[in-house]
Structure 1
Amino acid sequence: MTESATPGEGGPADLRETLQTLAPGTALRDGLERIKSGRTGGLVVIGDTAELDDICDGGITFDIPFQPTMLRELSKMDGAVVLSSDAARITRANVQLVPSPSYPTVESGTRHRAAERTALQTGLPVVSVSASMSTLTLYAQGQRHPLEQPAVLLQRANQALSTVERYRTRLDMANQRLFVAEMNNYATVGDVLNVLQRQIMMERAANDMDENIVELGVDARQLTLQLTELRGAADDLDLLVRDYIVADAVPDDDRVADTLAALAALPDSELLNSPSLARVLGLPATEENFMEGVVPRGYRALSRIPRVQRFLMDHIVAEFAELPSLIRAEPEDIVAAERVSPLWARHIYDGLRRLS
């Protein structure tokens, strides 16, 4: 589990990219595993910057291509090994790191304290290899991140996949109930919130699994395919918000983006609280009103008709305002919407008939 710390100054590398660089199967991970197996311990800094120069004392300067075996040999010396920012070259070895003691650290070991403070002060990723515990720990972006063995990561990813599968099944059932209610004009606030809650829960579980996939590297190809299939369409949540957010007209992209951001920011405890979700959309936020009827604008229904693109949905929704009016419309009514040709009007009319 990742533990938060206080971020330092400098230009920190993206944590996801760093984890990809350190994933099993990469040359750098191979080198780190060799250090761990040798039980000598080590410090590896990814990135050679001016900020790092300020806290380096001594060492050997050179510039050679990275090799796992060379990293192992250089780590036998007491100091840190410094790599280029892409970890493709070894630039220094046997470097004594002297970060400022003003940066907080929860570590007790000398090597780990130096690693955490160096990461905080320079913003560079630093990996500490413990000789006594045989563990790898990454310090980056103000976080302490243990690098687990592939078997542990794979087990965790498979558990996460099972969770995503359960959420997907429940979401599909709730989604189908809401869609039938939409097409027959009896959808309620509670129906919408039920789908919204399950959609966000599935997305969060999928994001957690995605972190495990990044750390697994080449061992995660099959899991990546399964997760992509389970996630489904990327804009499902966007369409739900566009259908039900309370607005006087067709909600613009900025309003939708702000709403999606507010939903993403909800803590898990609030996510399980339906009134909190309702307030974000502007829907009635008291449980006695959850049986109150709501009318969708029609985005979700139009998305089920093949090849209907978003700009066309916007024009149709602007013309009809709500799904029941669109369902009752004839092709000659639909063609009145801006940029809708007679051919598209017939295609949409037939598609809605099939869905009904």
Structure 2
Amino acid sequence: MAERDDALVDMLQQVAPGTVLRAGIERIIKAGKGALIVLGYDKQMEELRSGGFQLKAKLTAQHLSEVAKMDGAILIDNACENILWANVHLVPDSGIPTMETGTRHRTADRMAKQTNIPVISVSESMQIVSVYVGGHKHVLEELSSIMFRANQALATLERYRNRLDEVSAALSALEIENVVTLGNVVQVLQRAERVARISEEIEHAVAELGTEGRLLQLQLDELLLGVESERELVVADYLADRRRKVSKVMESLAALDDAELLEHGKVARALGYSPAEQGDERPVTARGYRLLSRIPRLPDQIVEKLVDKFSSVDHLLDATLEDLGTVDGIGETRARAIKEGLARLAESSILERYA
């Protein structure tokens, strides 16, 4: 799923306003023409190509619109810099299933599925631009429609981010008091995953907007600041089995559909808890990754050693300077900084919870 989304975003960036390719497509539409444009060329594409004229001409908006006056497909190199062939007849496997009806769109869909090379179809009659990436189709919209939809998604993202910050702060306070339940952890991960999913939709819109999406990108970056690390730290803190990789849990959470994400049991299972261990009121203990990450200038290797040594937030808070000093790499100065940092975090978390 992630690979497909990345490929689509890359494709949308290539046809975004301000690019040579988009300018060429707009010229084709204004001329009342259609086009079938393949963005890549390899051995497999060579085998699926029949006839045509070899050009090796620089890709410009003018060149693209001119060669589109011929009926066949246009083949562009992998770097999207040169037009290699024009007026080409493409012969993809007719057995590849497709829901498209028009000849141009059916060919585009099958070529994208068979070769995994992006294909663009410009409809002559409807003036619609369809982008095919693998088995996914995306229809380019008017910029005003994309901007409206993106702003709506951004407003939704802001609400979810605010709620994520609230439940995350509450989790921190519960960790200090050592009264965390599995339900508290699941709630944070659910919110964080929703934030990530909404952001993906906005990323697509930003890519499609091109130079017009710069302000949206700045707003998105600000709203997403720290979210990814928060998700990973929560997972690391509450994995049922610490030997399991955090990345595997993240993949399991991403694989849940929207309805499954609402089920606490599905999220708990992604963390490695068996059905018998999945009660929302089940007490769980943080290992201390989130708490330690908030202490300035504390290297990751020291964090790992502290978690290995003390295994929980409760034990970390109770540790004396002498206890901290027994950890390899922690001297008197760093031990004092850790002790004072933990005390400040504990105090601020409790004050925030009961303010």
TM-score, length-scaled by structure 2: 0.90
For residue 79 of structure 2, give the secondary structure of its aligned residue in structure 1. Answer: coil
Does 2:341 correspond to 1:346? no
1:332 aligns with 2:325: no
Q: Deviations over 1:118-172 (max 9, x none)?
A: 2233332211111111100112212222122222222221111112111101111
The structure-2 alpha-carbon separation of the partners of 1:76 and 1:167, relative to structure 1 and needing over 3 Å to count, comes to same
Task: Give 1:140's match in structure 2, choosing from 115, 133, 139.
Answer: 133
1:10 alignment counterpart: none
Q: Matched residues in 2 for 1:255 and 1:117: separation? A: 37
Q: Which region of structure 1 is more displaced relative to structure 2, 116-125 or 30-39? A: 116-125
1:1-356 residue pairs with structure 2 within 5 A?
Answer: 14-233=7-226, 234-247=228-241, 251-252=242-243, 254-283=244-273, 289-356=279-346
Q: Distance in 2 between matches of 1:287 and 1:320?
A: 24
Give the match's secondary structure for 1:258. helix
For the 8 Å contact 2:12–2:204, the answer to whether it is kept is no
Task: Rate the CA distance shift 1:40–1:203 in 2: closer, same or farther, 3 A.
Answer: same
CA RMSD of the aligned region, Å? 2.2
Q: CA deviation at 1:98?
A: 2.9
> May I ask how many residue pairs the two structures share in their alignment?
342
Distance in 2 separating the partners of 1:232 and 1:202: 11
- Counterpart CA distance in 2 for 1:292 and 1:57 is 65
- 1:89–1:219: structure 2 CA closer, same or farther, 3 Å change rule? same
Take 2:196 and 2:7, find their aligned partners in 1: how far apart are those partners?
A: 21
Return closer, same or farther for 1:332/1:217 CA change in 2, 3 Å cut-off. same
AA matched with 2:97? P
Distance (Å, rounded) in 2 between the aligned partners of 1:39 and 1:290: 61
SS at match of 1:131: coil
Q: Where does the alignment leave 5 or more consecutive residues of structure 1 unmatched?
A: 8-12
How far residue 286 of structure 1 moved from its aligned partner, in angstroms, is 7.0
Change (3 A) 1:63 1:319: same
8 Å CA contact 1:284, 1:290 repeated in 2: no
Are the counterparts in 2 of residues 185 and 295 from structure 1 also a CA contact under 8 Å?
yes
- Please tell me the residue identity of whatever aligns with 1:229: E
Q: Is the 8 A contact 1:111 1:128 kept in 2?
A: yes
What is the letter of the counterpart of residue 286 of structure 2? P
Task: Give the match's secondary structure for 1:44.
Answer: strand
Q: Unpaired segments of 5 or more residues in structure 2?
A: 347-355
Quote the Cα distance in structure 2 between the aligned partners of 1:190 and 1:121.
Answer: 45
Contact conserved, 1:48 with 1:82, CA < 8 A, in 2?
yes
**Residue-by-residue CA offset, 1:291-349 (whole Å, 9 max, x unaligned):** 33322111111111112222211101111111111111122211111222222111110
In 2: Cα distance, 1:39 partner to 1:137 partner = 16
* Greater helix share, structure number: 2
- Residue 303 to residue 116, structure 1, CA distance change in 2 (3 Å): same
Tell me by how many angstroms 1:288 deviates.
Answer: 9.2
Question: Any idea what SS the aligned residue of 2:245 has?
Answer: helix
Q: Which amino acid aligns with 1:214?
A: A
CA contact (8 A) 1:55 1:98 kept: yes
Displacement of 1:285 = 5.0
What is the SS of the residue equivalent to 2:316? helix
Residue 279 of structure 1 deviates from its aligned partner by 2.3
**Alpha carbons 1:189, 1:290 under 8 Å: kept:** yes
Question: CA–CA distance in 2 between the matches of 1:175 and 1:122?
Answer: 44
Given that residues 9 and 203 in structure 2 are in contact (C-alpha distance below 8 angstroms), is that contact kept between their aligned partners in structure 1? Answer: no
SS state at 1:85 partner: coil
Judge which range, 31-40 or 13-22, deviates more: 13-22
Whether the 8 Å CA contact 1:276–1:285 is kept in 2: the answer is: no
Question: How far apart, in 2, do the equivalents of 1:242 and 1:117 lie?
Answer: 42
CA–CA distance in structure 1, aligned partners of residues 27 and 189 of structure 2:
47
Structure 1 pair 284–170 and aligned structure 2 pair: CA distance change class (3 A): farther
- Larger mean Cα displacement after TM superposition, 87-96 or 345-354: 87-96
1:284: how far off? Answer: 7.2
Identity of matched residues, %: 39
Output the amino acid matched with 2:334.
W
The verdict on how the C-alpha distance between 1:284 and 1:58 changes in structure 2, with shifts beyond 3 A counting, is closer
